[in-house]
Amino acid sequence: MPIRLLLIKPHDSYLQISLIDRAGIYAHLENIIKTTNPTRNDGVFLWRTDEKVIKWIIRSYSKYAILSHKWLRGTPGEITYGHWNKGQLDPKSVGYEKLSNFCRTAWKDYGITLAWMDTICIDKDSSSELDESIRSMYAWYERASICIVYLSETQTITQIPHDTWFTRGWTLQELLAPKSLKFYSSEWCRLAQDKNNDKENSVILNFIEKATMMSASEVTTKHYVPLSRRMQWAASRTVTREEDTAYSLMGIFNVSISIAYGEGADRAFHRLLEEIIKTTPQGILDLFNWAGDYKNNKYGTSLLPSSPQYY
């Protein structure tokens, strides 16, 4: 469960959005457990003290939607945790509009009342929280009930391959991790009109392949793809902070390393490779399937590259 979630309470003419931490999430679920007495499909009444009911409630009401997007740049920009905590919210700003549209989409299209958005749900001033969040982010996307992908440059389905969302470092794991994913246009309309999983939509998968050169099977079965091929996916992607080239790949290789902004891209990537070597029992030789000048690698040897671009 993420550190914080947005709690969405629908009213007749508006949505009430609040930000709750894990204690608030548990209190929210506890209240539902105390006030809900569901029946099974066969009509047999189940009392709220029944363990099966509690598990059913937790499964049903702890579902959350998660957003994948490109950050707004410049002022006023995104609504951050700091803005929310200080009450510095402008309902007319582009950042607030994105937050509101995301929550509205989660509720209206999927009936979900919990949501996660990186801009507001992470306190980036806390180094320990930032470390936990970055190391856990792949799992949070993987466990989400639905990943809503907002393509801010796309109006129609045929424009999908040209959106720069596909060129960013962090969005690679946000494409791969979720079990269920849905692409939305700049106007917050579904690009594929049905509500089905876009990872099972052959038309969408074809557009993803055009944008990324990743086949449909690679998008849906990433852990069975050779190590060097996974590195190729990241080779041409860009990040704002240089160390994120390595940090954004942890989940894709099922490893975890500490976050140390300021260490530099080369050192961060070398630590990532070391951890992959330590923890990957099969196919590890494929990690050495690269080409380039090893002299540029300050932290490794001739066996290890300094960047995914060498794959």
Per-residue pLDDT tens digits for 55-96:
777 777 789 999 999 998 876 788 999 999 998 888 889 999
C-alpha to C-alpha distance for 49 and 254, rounded to whole angstroms: 38
Per-residue pLDDT tens digits for 7-53:
999 988 889 999 999 999 999 888 887 776 655 555 554 554 567 76
- Residue the block writes with tokens 């009213």: 11
**Residue 222: its pLDDT value, please?**
76
C-alpha to C-alpha distance for 166 and 8, rounded to whole angstroms: 29
306 against 203, higher pLDDT: 203
Query: Three-state SS for 157?
Result: helix
203 against 48, higher pLDDT: 203
Is the Cβ–Cβ distance between 207 and 157 less than 8 Å? yes
**Residue 118: its pLDDT value, please?**
96
Is the Cβ–Cβ distance between 135 and 256 less than 8 Å? yes
**Residue 76: its pLDDT value, please?**
73
Mean per-residue pLDDT of the chain: 90
Number of CB atoms found within 10 A of residue 121's CB:
23
**Residue 199: its pLDDT value, please?**
96
Please name the residue ranges forming H helices in the chain.
22-35, 51-61, 81-86, 94-110, 118-121, 127-143, 170-176, 202-212, 216-220, 227-234, 244-247, 265-279
Cα 33 from chain centroid (whole Å): 28
Whole-model pTM? 0.91
Provide CB contacts within 8 A for 12, sequence distance 6+: none
> Partners of 124 in the beta sheet?
none
**Residue 50: its pLDDT value, please?**
65
CA end-to-end distance (rounded Å), the chain:
34
Q: What average pLDDT does range 155-181 have in this prediction?
A: 97
Burial class of residue 43 (count of CB atoms within 10 Å of its CB; 0-12, 13-18, 19+): exposed
With a cut of 80, say whether residue 295 has pLDDT above it: no
**Residue 224: its pLDDT value, please?**
84
Share of the chain above pLDDT 90, in %: 68
**Residue 34: its pLDDT value, please?**
76
Q: What average pLDDT does range 239-261 have in this prediction?
A: 97
**Residue 281: its pLDDT value, please?**
79
Sheet of 114-116, strands arranged across: 15-21, 4-10, 114-116, 65-68, 146-150, 181-184
294 against 142, higher pLDDT: 142
C-alpha to C-alpha distance for 249 and 255, rounded to whole angstroms: 9
C-alpha to C-alpha distance for 309 and 306, rounded to whole angstroms: 8
Q: What average pLDDT does range 278-304 have in this prediction?
A: 77
**Residue 57: its pLDDT value, please?**
72
- Residue the block writes with tokens 């989400």: 144
Per-residue pLDDT tens digits for 97-147:
999 999 999 999 999 999 999 999 999 999 999 999 999 999 999 999 999
**Residue 12: its pLDDT value, please?**
85
Per-residue pLDDT tens digits for 250-260:
999 999 999 99
